[in-house]
């Protein structure tokens, strides 16, 4: 072999043999155990898993329901507003009351209450009509806010159930430390710690999305309430003009 090739040959030999040498020096690492969902549930304890699972199903059902029930069109229907303006332009309060009864949005309920009050007493003042409208609008707004409050309740209750499971797991762990069971102590201690951690994680997994969706729907409801107030104020003003 030519002398100038010896350094390259030595370097190639080292690179090819390095993985084998390093593998011989490294300790043996057993394959990681796959943790299944059933194993996590067993670790958490079924008396905590079942309430948390029920809350997760309820939260998912509420989110799906709110996406349909709290659509902007279900709060203020543009079609209803246009038809109501046409009826008010003609001074037909009776047709407006019938239209409000048939429509399904929140705005129609508020305007319908004002129209019924006017039909019951055509001499009613504008101040009374406005008070009736504000009262019905406040009732509908409270109903919508109470509707989405269930998500907030789930976001509060879920971590508390998880915290209870955490406390029970820690109690088990400290109870193991106070006993002398030889080699089984480490296993029992690990079971208690596992129960504590899994319950904490499960409660947070449910609470965080529930709180996020609650904030989302709360913003949607608040925007809809603002739009509702603007539209009802305009329609009640037109009703007062025609009734006067």
- pLDDT tens per residue across span 37-86: 444 454 545 567 788 889 989 999 999 999 999 988 889 889 999 999 88
Nearest to 43 by CA among 170, 149, 193: 193
d(CA 159, CA 118): 51
> Per-residue confidence at 239, pLDDT binned at 50, 70, 90?
confident
CB 10 within 8 A of CB 168: no
d(CA 153, CA 52): 13
Does the pLDDT at position 174 exceed 90? no
Number of helical H runs and strand E runs in the chain: 9, 0
The Cα diameter of the chain in Å comes to: 118
pLDDT for the residue numbered 18: 38
> Per-residue confidence at 178, pLDDT binned at 50, 70, 90?
low
Which token pair is 65? 């329901």
Dump pLDDT digits (tens) for 146-162: 999 999 999 999 888 88
Domain residue ranges in the chain: 44-243
Count of C-beta atoms within a 10 Å radius of residue 109? 17
> Per-residue confidence at 23, pLDDT binned at 50, 70, 90?
very low
Q: At what angle do helices 126-177 and 106-120 cross, to 10 degrees?
A: 140
């Amino acid at each position: 072999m030519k002398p100038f090739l010896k350094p390259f040959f030595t370097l190639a030999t080292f690179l090819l043999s390095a993985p084998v040498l390093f593998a011989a020096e490294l300790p043996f690492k057993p394959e990681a155990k796959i943790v299944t969902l059933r194993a996590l549930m067993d670790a958490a304890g079924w008396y905590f898993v079942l309430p948390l699972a029920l809350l997760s199903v309820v939260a998912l059902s509420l989110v799906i329901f709110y996406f349909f029930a709290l659509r902007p069109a279900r709060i203020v229907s543009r079609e209803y507003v246009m038809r109501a303006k046409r009826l008010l332009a003609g001074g037909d309060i009776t047709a407006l009351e019938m239209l409000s009864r048939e429509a399904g949005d929140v705005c129609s309920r508020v305007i319908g209450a004002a129209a019924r009050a006017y039909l019951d007493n055509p001499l009613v003042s504008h101040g009374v009509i406005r008070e009736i409208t504000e009262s019905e609008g406040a009732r509908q707004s409270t109903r919508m806010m109470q509707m989405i409050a269930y998500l907030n309740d789930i976001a509060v209750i879920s971590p508390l159930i998880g915290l209870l499971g955490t406390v029970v797991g820690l109690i088990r762990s400290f109870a193991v430390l106070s006993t002398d069971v030889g080699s089984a102590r480490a296993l029992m201690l690990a079971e208690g710690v596992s129960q504590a951690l899994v319950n904490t994680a499960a409660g947070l997994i449910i609470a965080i999305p529930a709180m996020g969706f609650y904030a989302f729907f709360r913003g949607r409801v608040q925007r809809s309430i603002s739009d509702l107030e603007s539209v009802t104020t305009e329609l009640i003003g037109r009703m007062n003009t025609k009734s006067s």
